[in-house]
Structure 1
Amino acid sequence: MPSFYAKPEETVRTVAIVLFDRTKLIDVTGPLQVFNDARLPSGAKAYAISLLSEAGGPVLTDTGFALETLPFSHAVSAPPDTLLVSGGQSALEAAASAALLGFLAEMAPRSRRLGSICLGAFILARGGHLDGRRATTHWEDCARFRQDFPEIDVREDSIYEEDRGVWTSAGVTAGIDMALAMVERDLGRDEALRLARSLVLYVKRTGGQRQFSAALHQQMNSRSDRFDTLLGAVRADLQADLSVPRLAGMAHMSERNFSRLFTETMGASPAQFIEELRVEAACDALERGEATVAGAPFLFGFGSAERMRRSFQRRKGISPSDYAARFGPERPKAS
């Protein structure tokens, strides 16, 4: 059984998460769980974690449950290696707190890494920590974020962003993705992947990915749920013939009427939509090492390597081989 005590030569990093009244519970507990479960090579805990608030004591979260915290003064005397600001709708009010902004101003230059989860980005922005940097936040508030802080390069599709030591994440579970990325930066890819498997995450997403899958993004923007059943069948068998005649038959419509109505409803032509789904599925498989660049064209219905290459260039601006080299599993280095 591994010991929870680090060996003398191992470094235990400190993480502090800032809370405020009615903060979103999962914005705290998601990253907290990741850092808590991370392990050093000896099996010891890799991080010592504290929860902070202005006065300390119990802080009521948006769920009605309270979390026990330490006062800001606790961190002032021992600055954390990583300082994160939690989120939730109440972050918009907390961004006006002089005490909170003052604490962050004092701690930012003393911590190696500063970050926020979800709408906590508004607090970092109000304190000037994101000026001239790339950043993201919950998709529902990206437009307001961009309007309120024009000096920030807002990336509304990103799961998380890191720019010169300052991290921001999209909403809710994206805080888990960001924490995993931090663990990977600190402890290596193997430990981050072990954590992802342990937490039963479907895939360890990269920061450059969009906040929604292509199918969900289109369904959110669609005017009805008319094609939901069809989309489910399509995603389940991307190798199949997904031409307009076949899709129209599956929808029990004429080809002309299907093409017109699909494009009006989904905001993309059938061909564009199918291409996006195939590229997305191929990217996921390449990232997890479940497909090779040579095999992916046939696994996901592209038909040929050249067609897949053109699709990747259109959708990702990068070739499949370059994508796999950048985001795929690391290969053992030759000795």
Structure 2
Amino acid sequence: MARTVALLAYDGAQSLDVTGPAEVFAIANQEAGTELYRVVVLSPDGAEVVCSSGLTLGARSSLGDHDGAIDTFVVPGSPTWERAMHDEALISAVAAGTGRSRRVAAVCGGAFLLGAVGLLDGKRATTHWACLDDLERCFPTAKVERGPIFTQDGAVFTSAGVTAGIDLALALVEDDRGPGLARKVARFLVVFLQRPGSQDQFSARMRQEPPAHSALRGLLDTIVDDPTGDHSLAALSVRAGYSERHLARLFVRELGTSPSRYVDEVRLEAARTLLEAGDASMEVVAQRSGLGSAETLRRRFTQEVGIPPGAYRRRFQTTGVSR
């Protein structure tokens, strides 16, 4: 019998949080040659919804009017998650859906909606990297994890931002039907079965963007544009026209890190890009990213990303879901 996967759509939800997991389960049916999953999109009142992108999604019915058991209940996130947490009709729908499901999966900011109905209390959870502090603040009893693309704690799954919903859905397929089918789905979607690394893959520049008027902006551009250059504190001080001490204070105040740490992160990001883009030797990757030697690349990459650079380059054989 097909397992019902119900995706809760609501006004302001991110469309890919809904459609990404839906495609994974639909393609699992296609690759298996049989209906393993019955995918339905539900909304709190049965009406169509307007997503944060402006895309309109139709719902099969309201959650209350949906007949039958729900195997997997998927809760998408929203850029306006704070407002969503105080939408009584939406929170009632989340509570009802989670209460009648075997397992629950939140994508991105959907974790806040699970938290609002008490499902994160004492549980491991994650969300989009930009919202991790907010998740800890809103739900202090949750065990918020900052690295994983997705987490599992019993029957509650949470994932990082947007496209991580695809990673999570692949893990659910693997949990149900094994890595063979999940691998076929990943191949069809042209994605990693297990994404190399963790949420730390996001851009160092994006993570530490200074204010628009900051005197650091031009300096940061020179670092990103040429990670192999001389970016010692002394050299940066000369280019910026500030004393070394004042420049170090600016970095801490505006970026929350030191100049050397920022340079190191940019070089690691450059190494990730080179590893993903081709098959250059580790020595060449190290030189082009500004890390110097293959040994330095291996040591720093393993320390910061959690896996050796060679492993990062390869596709994994499993999503990493516990079985």
TM-score (norm 2): 0.72
Q: Secondary structure at the match of 1:188?
A: helix
Q: Deviations over 1:95-119 (max 9, x none)?
A: 6744541331121xxx3x4201233
Higher relative contact order (CA 8 A, sep 6+): 2
* Cα 1:50/1:79, change in 2 over 3 Å: same
Q: Which consecutive residues of structure 2, in runs of 5 or more, have no partner in the other structure?
A: 318-323
Q: Whole-Å Cα distance in 2 between the matches of residues 95 and 142 of structure 1?
A: 24
**Match for residue 93 of structure 1?**
86
* Cα 1:39/1:326, change in 2 over 3 Å: farther
Structure 2 letter corresponding to 1:77: G
**Match for residue 102 of structure 1?**
96
State yes or no: 1:163 paired with 2:142: no
Which aligned pairs between 1:186-335 and structure 2 lie closer than 5 A?
187-189=181-183, 191-196=185-190, 205=195, 208-210=198-200, 212-220=202-210, 224-248=213-237, 251=239, 253=241, 256=244, 258-259=247-248, 261-286=250-275, 290-291=279-280, 293=282, 295-312=284-301, 314-316=303-305, 318=306, 321=308, 324-325=310-311, 328-330=314-316
CA drift of 1:214 comes to 1.7
Q: Which moved more, 1:146-155 or 1:236-245?
A: 236-245
Q: Whole-Å Cα distance in 2 between the matches of residues 255 and 117 of structure 1?
A: 45
Structure 1 letter corresponding to 2:74: L
Q: Whole-Å Cα distance in 2 between the matches of residues 206 and 117 of structure 1?
A: 19
Contact 1:139 1:211 (C-alpha < 8 Å) held by counterparts: no
Contact 2:3 2:70 (C-alpha < 8 Å) held by counterparts: no
Contact 1:159 1:177 (C-alpha < 8 Å) held by counterparts: yes
Contact 1:160 1:208 (C-alpha < 8 Å) held by counterparts: no
TM-score (norm 1): 0.70
* Cα 1:290/1:105, change in 2 over 3 Å: farther
Structure 2 letter corresponding to 1:325: A
**Match for residue 320 of structure 2?**
none
Q: Deviations over 1:268-295 (max 9, x none)?
A: 3322111112223334554677455555
**Which of 12, 19, 33 lines up with 1:29 in the alignment?**
19
CA drift of 1:178 comes to 3.6
Contact 1:136 1:154 (C-alpha < 8 Å) held by counterparts: yes
**Match for residue 114 of structure 1?**
104
Percent of pairs with identical residues: 34
Q: Whole-Å Cα distance in 1 between the matches of residues 184 and 272 of structure 2?
A: 20
Contact 2:46 2:62 (C-alpha < 8 Å) held by counterparts: yes
CA drift of 1:77 comes to 1.3
State yes or no: 1:65 paired with 2:56: yes
* Cα 1:39/1:304, change in 2 over 3 Å: farther
**Which of 102, 117, 123 lines up with 2:113 in the alignment?**
123
Contact 1:17 1:28 (C-alpha < 8 Å) held by counterparts: yes
* Cα 1:223/1:23, change in 2 over 3 Å: closer
